[in-house]
Amino acid sequence: MERAERGERILEAAEELLLAWGYARVTIEEIARRAKVGKGTVYLHWKTKDALLLAVMLKVQSRSQQRQLERLRADPLEVLPSRMMRGRFHDFLDEPVLRALYTDDSDVLGRLNDHAKKELAEVIAEADRTLRRHLEVLREHGLVRTDTEVRHQQYALMAIATGFFTAETLLYERAPDTPETRAEILAGTVRSTLETAPERVPEAAASAVPEVIALYEQLADLCAREMDRQIRR
């Protein structure tokens, strides 16, 4: 079995067990058993359980980033904050590890989330810078309001998203019927809070999207390098 293929099997097994058992109960022995490799083989790839499970988190984040980039490349209107957050909401629903991460689910993540905040501080900071620059680009193209500071807009955007993501757990029984309906409510809330309504939205979005794509490609590259850093040398 090639090293890369073996590493993917270990990551898949670790993700399955993290979701099924939670951080505290997952062991390297059980991950190795699920991946059908020896315990020592896992340690050939990752130094510790934490390094392996951080790699799981990065892999899930990377899948979401790649889907976002695919949406941007397919339709420049995905550059709008409302469209971006609608896509991320669907990613959140489709990825159980993302749901645990965004809602700080201690049953699944245990102390891993706090560990990730320390180990992945550079990635987290770059993600913040990327989102802020994304909003700045949209302001330059007349797609986002300029009557308030961009840092306040970034906070508002993340607060709205956090509220909707958390509501999937806290308000689920009172939520509208379908995920698509909830995604549209999220998009509408973001749109009314941040976006303008210029006459030539498609043209403005097409002008803005190359720089925004480049921003998220750089972030994806940083995540890939961080994931590689977690691999044992």
For the stretch 111-161, pLDDT in tens is 777 777 787 888 889 999 999 999 999 999 999 999 999 999 999 999 999
Residue 150 and residue 136 in contact, taking contact as beta carbons nearer than 8 Å: yes
pLDDT bracket for residue 231 (50, 70, 90): low
Q: 233 pLDDT exceeds 50? A: no
Phi and psi, residue 20, nearest 5°: -75, -40
Looking at residue 149, the DSSP 8-state letter turns out to be -
Domain with CATH 1.10.10.60 in the chain: 1-45
Query: Whole-prediction pTM value?
Result: 0.86
Q: 54 - beta bridge partners?
A: none
Domain with CATH 1.10.357 in the chain: 57-229
Q: Give which of 205, 91, 54, 45 is closest to 140, Cα–Cα.
A: 205
Q: What is the pLDDT of residues 49-97, one digit of tens each?
A: 888 988 888 888 888 899 999 999 999 999 999 999 999 999 988 888 7
Residue 141 and residue 208 in contact, taking contact as beta carbons nearer than 8 Å: yes
pLDDT bracket for residue 28 (50, 70, 90): very high
Containing 85, the helix (H) or strand (E) segment is helix 81-94
CATH architecture classification, 1-45? Orthogonal Bundle (1.10)
Residue 212 is predicted with a pLDDT of: 98
Residue 84 and residue 78 in contact, taking contact as beta carbons nearer than 8 Å: yes
CATH architecture classification, 57-229? Orthogonal Bundle (1.10)
What three-state secondary structure class fits 123? Answer: helix
Q: What is the pLDDT of residues 128-142, one digit of tens each?
A: 999 999 999 999 999
Q: What is the pLDDT of residues 189-214, one digit of tens each?
A: 999 999 997 778 999 999 999 999 99
- How many beta carbons lie within 10 A of that of residue 38, not counting itself? 12
Residue 143 and residue 195 in contact, taking contact as beta carbons nearer than 8 Å: yes
**CA–centroid distance for 49 within its chain:** 21
Which among 16-30, 37-51, 101-115, 141-155 has the top mean pLDDT? 141-155
